[in-house]
Structure 1
Amino acid sequence: MNIVLYAVIVLFWGTTWIGIKLQLGSVDPAVSVAYRFLLAAVCMFIWTSARKLPMRFPLRSHLRLALVGLLMYSANYVLFYYCSEHLVSGLVSIIFCLSVGFNIINGRIFLKRPISRTVVLGSVAGVLGLALVFGDDIAHTKASSDLLTGVLLGLGATLLFSFGNIASSWNQTSGGLPIVQSTAWSMLYGGAFTSIGCLVAGNSFTVEPSFRYVAGLVYLSVCGSAIAFVTYLTLLSRIGPDRAAFATVAFPVVSLSLSTVFEDYHWNVLAVLGVLVVLAANANILAGPRLRTALGRLLPGSASGTADAATRESSAVPESGPGRG
């Protein structure tokens, strides 16, 4: 189930670049973010109403949900949209995948989660793999004030996303808040916060009356937000924020694959090597102990040692399951 959830996240987040690209135009990026999560919240509330899920929570819970909305569905996305105006997509992807490292540190500080050697090594390998994939983009990015601005915006957005992960995990484990209803309220708060920020900044709430813009908005709201974030938060509750955030390392590979089809992207040796490194890192993060045990059984004389290593690694990472992490 963890692998299925992970695959859904990577698939949808790996294709959101299509929706974002369709939205680029006359509408301010922050306004598009507000539209995206307000529409996603509407979809979530329709779904909870159809299933007759309880939506009433005490004030303290709403404060927690509003915090997640501000961190995950408002401020971080606004920063990332503006970051994309300064940096090439490859560099933005690498910055975003640093959320794995942030989640490891923040999970240790705020949730007292043990730091797994598997996750740390996998994270480093994943970042290095993406650096190989997007090496040409990085090499041709000129050092300038735009570069510094973009990097700072990207790091700020990634840190906020990580804090949102920790807050959401805390809501589910300590607060006992259900995932679907929590996501609906948090997206509504996130859209509201972004709308207020746009009003303060004097941004115009215009809508580009084109199929291109509307299609991108609908895809981002339904698939890239409502479905993807419920799936992501479900995975987060099962395996913890450190391993769940590793999806941010995998989805740029999906984006690159689509670029091959739709944007005539040309592969090189470093890009292929980088993709292989990223895939290996993902396999190690998701099923490292089991993979090593299986390989140990295939290799003569190494089964017991591999099994022992898997046992030691499993003891360092809590078992997946509802209510843990």
Structure 2
Amino acid sequence: MTASPLSLVCPAGTPAALDAAVEAGADAVYCGFADATNARNFPGLNFSPVEMRAAVARTHKAGRSLYIAINTFPRAGEEAAWHRAVDNAAEAGADAVILADLGLLAYAQATHPSLRLHLSVQAAASTPEAIRYLAQTFGVQRVVLPRVLTLAEVTELTAAVAPVETEVFAFGGMCVMAEGRCQLSSYVTGQSPNTHGVCSPAGAVQFRREPGGDVTARLGNVTIDRHPAGAPAGYPTLCKGRFRANATTGYLFEEPTSLNAADHIPGLIKAGVRALKIEGRQRGRAYVARVVGEFRRAIDAAVAGGFTVPDLASEMEGGRATAGAYDRRWR
């Protein structure tokens, strides 16, 4: 790989996806434990403490870094599970933990002072004052910025908080809520993305083929979408459901659309952003290999002065993409 000022941080929900990310050119891989301490708490995903130690060893052998996401908020009276996750991450030899909760930041700093701390996007820190406070109080060294900032705002904020590093999302799922602070899923399913780590838990999702051939998607007891068989459709979440309101059927909150900020790679390098993040720990090995490989080539080309926007249409949710707030064309 070409040396780059922009690190490529990539998802892995399974050992196979981790290997794919490393092989495709990730500088760092982020994972989570198989419990409610991380925000992708789906059956069949994530790592046991033993598996995480093996993952760290394989990643380090390849000369890459591994970050562990412990980015949900502890439930009252159950803090021990989150503390144990931080302990397990430190024992595994993680290069950093990605935390959102202030109490967990304080615990990690006091218990494992040499453990590098990254602030999760779930913390939604988007001002110099907030980031400086977190860096000075807890020793946070990198902040994953919320997906609500323009490229100009990212540039200004990155300069203002240095030497604290900034990391931004560049590809993958979007959330209409304030960085996952959502009550919709918990209202219907009883499980909160913020404390249980799961939005639209798989056990609550149902697909039903209708007599006419259409497919109906339900979450719990709520029908949230209906589309022709074979039509592109995203994972069924309430915020991306289609509903009838005022005699009109449509996406009430947000369309199922992927974030794709690949064309902003040169601008993000110029902005001084330290890391570019791919979303998708719930996705398979093929997705990880394709997206990571394309972004690796795009970053290396941009550094070399020959940038070409990668074609990732086949990996986009619902077959559509947006640059989100980076260019904020609706202003």
Category of TM-score, reference length = shorter chain:
under 0.3
What TM-score comes out, normalization by structure 2 length? 0.24
- Greater fraction strand: 2
- Greater fraction helix: 1
What TM-score comes out, normalization by structure 1 length? 0.25
If asked which structure has higher relative contact order (CA below 8 Å, sep 6+), I would say 1
